[in-house]
A and B are shown apart, each in its own frame.
Chain A
């Protein structure tokens, strides 16, 4: 299309001057576009390859697996694999669990990080630099460094000796709250903007809010809005792209997390933990597929992956427009 436009532009105006130089121009443009298109298509293929391949395997029957003439398009379509994968993964339960573990903390974290980011972006107070350095530090420290300590901390959670005090009064039987194996060990950090990768989100929000024109807020202040109301009425409606970005990243990271979730919630089967054990579940002792040829299990494994990715993919497609908009408004770079 562009090429034709360029062509028309060149020749429609002054046809007589259509000399060699223009042909050269058109040719170089054509070659560049072609090269770029080829590169982009190739890279897109690399990215999509596992997905396409998984999908193609997921919808083929057992007998197609052994047919070497089939690469992408199977001869016999079937949805049986999805059914089996659904059963093996116990999909409805694990989906619900994963949703609980990822959605609620995400919502809380999106809000709490926004507050902190706004505080860092707009207000001047003593020690702000130090505090922001601490935010950056939380990004750098690898999660494994504090994970064990956090685990023991959650096992006997006693914030500000509140539990000890309550124990002394006699409200609870132990001088601590046991938070492991409950959703609280995700909700509490998210509530206090200290959940998964929240440092990064605070950073993103800070960048976004400091790029926001100050005049609107000042007008709101002059009209008698408090800081909180200004934030809710003026900034939040204008920061929808930033919120979308953070929401998307946050829910994706919680969804894909198979490091902290099995640690804090060992008895809850979430999708990542089940999926990583899927092969074991199927072939393990007493598994329904233990006697089958391993190759025949691939379609079911691939269906499991597709099932796992599907909710994220749908979310991404829904939010994609807002997401790219936020990039256009440079919500991340500021």
Chain B
């Protein structure tokens, strides 16, 4: 209420200012109007300069007392106007207040009405609803008619502007947003259907049939034969799957730990950081089967030729094995370690994106957390496990999934080579499709398992 009053006061003030403003510049004109309004108006239209001169002449003829009297009269008039306006506004304010009070009352009544409604049967309720809807419709129509009348009165431009506005109002904001959103996604969806869903379906059909490549890819249904053949006859496919799986078991933990480690290092401030970061992302840019195979195929010969250990193996594997066993590590552990050392080149080259993801996660951690831990006297070790690790944890899942997918979709992996063999040497599209679907099943299973483990871990940690 006080707000309303304030508003009113302000309005009144503004009105006063307006009155004053209109009053002052009119000073020169007024005597003219009084003496002979018609002539003055005609004159001011035809020759404004002359009218002003006449006014000035008349003013100069008047005595000081007369001018004072005129001014007083004007001020009185202005004051009267102001008073009338304030009174009118007060009246309006009272009316508004009454209205608000009425509304409040009706809100109190609402509770009662709701109470009454709860006693009604569903049929009655429906009737009430229909009644209300009908009333609303009627009101709307009446409003529309009013608007149209107004529009007709004010000119014919309005209806044209009004129409699209009404159409927009007919659809709710949410449904409109939903529609726009779907329009944004629609191109992808069309693409998905054309270039993913349809081929997927076709590939599934291939996997259940004998495909004759030279007869326009005609399919004859053979049921599960392709799958049976794949998994029973010859061990090459199963072997390839096992190889890839072992690869994965080694790669995922090593790449994860390594990339997190490097990301933490790269997140520190040191001279030349930009350069080092650039170097670590370089594999993302350059890494490709072609370059890698060319490196590998030529490096062996070079190693022999130049007596140089290349391909990034930093120390002789035999020595390393001896060293690790002498440390008292188990055979399996030793094997794993040497396997890792053997792969250090591959690991460094394969973890570009993982480093990137971890680095992004690290940079989104607020520095104030580190400052606080520093002030509290936490060691670097504690800071890592209590601040860095929990903040990076969500990315670990993303990284695991990415590493799995990357390892599996790397065109150099054993299974894909096996599939290529079916395609290029025997043109057995059916078996190739079956092989790739089994492969996909394995991937999906592994990813599902990872998700499950993460869910369980989350539950455990609260």
Q: Smallest distance from the beta carbon of A2 to chain B beta carbons, Å?
A: 7
Q: Smallest distance from the beta carbon of B311 to chain A beta carbons, Å?
A: 9
* Across-interface contacts of B196 in A (CB, < 8 A): 138, 141, 146, 194
- With both beta carbons as reference points, the residue of chain B lying nearest to A189 in the complex is identified as B195
A145 CB-CB contact with B under 8 Å: yes
A250 CB-CB contact with B under 8 Å: no
Q: Judging by beta carbons under 8 Å apart, are A123 and B181 in contact?
A: yes
* Across-interface contacts of B184 in A (CB, < 8 A): 115-116, 118-119, 123, 227, 231
Q: Judging by beta carbons under 8 Å apart, are B447 and A140 in contact?
A: yes
Contact with B along A121-146 (1 / 0, CB 8 A): 01111101001001100111111111
Contact with A along B172-204 (1 / 0, CB 8 A): 001001111111110111111011101111110
Interface of A, helix, strand, loop or mixed by DSSP: helix
Q: Judging by beta carbons under 8 Å apart, are A305 and B291 in contact?
A: yes
Interfacial residues of chain A within 276-334, with CB under 8 A of chain B in the complex: 276, 278-279, 294-295, 298, 301-302, 304-305, 308-309, 312-313, 315-317, 320, 323-324, 327-328, 330-333
Q: Judging by beta carbons under 8 Å apart, are A142 and B290 in contact?
A: no
Interfacial residues of chain A within 36-51, with CB under 8 A of chain B in the complex: 36-37, 39-40, 43-44, 46-51
A7 CB-CB contact with B under 8 Å: no
- With both beta carbons as reference points, the residue of chain B lying nearest to A32 in the complex is identified as B380
B348 CB-CB contact with A under 8 Å: yes
Q: Judging by beta carbons under 8 Å apart, are A140 and B291 in contact?
A: no
Q: Judging by beta carbons under 8 Å apart, are A252 and B284 in contact?
A: yes
Q: Report if A43-B262 is in contact (Cβ < 8 Å); known contacts: A71-B308, A192-B195.
A: yes
A256 CB-CB contact with B under 8 Å: yes
Q: Which of B45-53, B58-66, B437-445 contacts A (4 or more CB under 8 A)?
A: B437-445
Rounded to whole angstroms, the CA-CA distance of A174 and B21 in the bound complex is 83
A30 CB-CB contact with B under 8 Å: no
- With both beta carbons as reference points, the residue of chain B lying nearest to A190 in the complex is identified as B191
Q: Smallest distance from the beta carbon of B71 to chain A beta carbons, Å?
A: 49
Q: Judging by beta carbons under 8 Å apart, are B185 and A148 in contact?
A: no
Q: Judging by beta carbons under 8 Å apart, are B349 and A47 in contact?
A: yes
Q: Which of A17-25, A73-81, A149-157 contacts B (4 or more CB under 8 A)?
A: A149-157
Q: Judging by beta carbons under 8 Å apart, are B405 and A43 in contact?
A: no
Contact with A along B375-406 (1 / 0, CB 8 A): 00000000000000000000100000100010
Which listed residue, B188, B201, B274, B360, touches A192 by the CB 8 Å rule? B188
* Across-interface contacts of A110 in B (CB, < 8 A): none
Rounded to whole angstroms, the CA-CA distance of A128 and B181 in the bound complex is 9
Q: Judging by beta carbons under 8 Å apart, are B199 and A144 in contact?
A: no
Which listed residue, A50, A193, A258, A305, touches B191 by the CB 8 Å rule? A193
- With both beta carbons as reference points, the residue of chain A lying nearest to B185 in the complex is identified as A119
A1 CB-CB contact with B under 8 Å: yes
A33 CB-CB contact with B under 8 Å: yes
Q: Judging by beta carbons under 8 Å apart, are A123 and B180 in contact?
A: yes
B241 CB-CB contact with A under 8 Å: no
Q: Which of B2-10, B74-82, B275-283 contacts A (4 or more CB under 8 A)?
A: B275-283
Q: Judging by beta carbons under 8 Å apart, are A47 and B283 in contact?
A: yes
Rounded to whole angstroms, the CA-CA distance of A202 and B188 in the bound complex is 9
Q: Report if A327-B262 is in contact (Cβ < 8 Å); known contacts: A123-B184, A149-B202, A333-B361.
A: no
Rounded to whole angstroms, the CA-CA distance of A68 and B304 in the bound complex is 11
Q: Smallest distance from the beta carbon of B344 to chain A beta carbons, Å?
A: 7
Rounded to whole angstroms, the CA-CA distance of A113 and B184 in the bound complex is 10
Rounded to whole angstroms, the CA-CA distance of A331 and B185 in the bound complex is 20
Q: Judging by beta carbons under 8 Å apart, are B433 and A141 in contact?
A: no
Rounded to whole angstroms, the CA-CA distance of A153 and B191 in the bound complex is 13
B416 CB-CB contact with A under 8 Å: yes
User: How many of chain B's residues have a CB under 8 angstroms from any CB in A?
Assistant: 95
A259 CB-CB contact with B under 8 Å: yes
Which listed residue, B189, B295, B297, B359, touches A327 by the CB 8 Å rule? B359
Q: Judging by beta carbons under 8 Å apart, are A327 and B356 in contact?
A: yes
Q: Smallest distance from the beta carbon of B177 to chain A beta carbons, Å?
A: 6
Rounded to whole angstroms, the CA-CA distance of A37 and B265 in the bound complex is 9
Rounded to whole angstroms, the CA-CA distance of A194 and B174 in the bound complex is 28
* Across-interface contacts of A105 in B (CB, < 8 A): none
* Interface hub of B174, B188, B420 (most chain A Cβ within 10 A): B188
- With both beta carbons as reference points, the residue of chain B lying nearest to A193 in the complex is identified as B188
Q: Judging by beta carbons under 8 Å apart, are A276 and B423 in contact?
A: no
* Across-interface contacts of A304 in B (CB, < 8 A): 294
* Across-interface contacts of A46 in B (CB, < 8 A): 312, 314, 344-345, 348
- With both beta carbons as reference points, the residue of chain A lying nearest to B363 in the complex is identified as A328
Q: Report if A124-B177 is in contact (Cβ < 8 Å); known contacts: A40-B265, A149-B433.
A: yes
Which listed residue, B201, B278, B312, B436, touches A320 by the CB 8 Å rule? B278
Q: Judging by beta carbons under 8 Å apart, are A258 and B177 in contact?
A: no
Which listed residue, B174, B201, B276, touches A124 by the CB 8 Å rule? B174
- With both beta carbons as reference points, the residue of chain B lying nearest to A263 in the complex is identified as B423
* Interface hub of A125, A126, A134, A150 (most chain B Cβ within 10 A): A125
Q: List 27 A-B contacts (CB under 8 A).
A: A50-B291, A115-B188, A116-B187, A128-B185, A150-B199, A153-B195, A153-B199, A192-B188, A192-B190, A194-B191, A198-B188, A198-B191, A227-B177, A248-B285, A256-B289, A258-B411, A294-B301, A295-B305, A305-B294, A308-B291, A309-B286, A320-B278, A323-B281, A327-B356, A330-B360, A332-B357, A333-B360
What residues make up the interface of B, taking CB atoms closer than 8 Å to A?
A: 174, 177-185, 187-192, 194-196, 198-203, 206, 217, 262, 265, 268-271, 274, 276-291, 293-295, 297-298, 301-302, 305-308, 310, 312, 314, 344-345, 348-349, 356-357, 359-361, 363-364, 395, 401, 405, 408-409, 411, 416, 419-420, 423, 429, 432-433, 436-437, 439-440, 443-444, 447
- A sample of 9 more A-B contacts (CB under 8 A), given A145-B433, A317-B278, is A49-B312, A128-B185, A138-B192, A140-B401, A145-B200, A150-B199, A193-B188, A279-B294, A332-B356
What residues make up the interface of A, taking CB atoms closer than 8 Å to B?
A: 1-2, 33, 36-37, 39-40, 43-44, 46-51, 53-54, 68, 71, 112-113, 115-116, 118-120, 122-126, 128, 131, 134-135, 138-146, 148-150, 152-153, 159, 188-189, 191-194, 198, 202, 227, 231, 248-249, 252, 256, 258-259, 272, 275-276, 278-279, 294-295, 298, 301-302, 304-305, 308-309, 312-313, 315-317, 320, 323-324, 327-328, 330-333
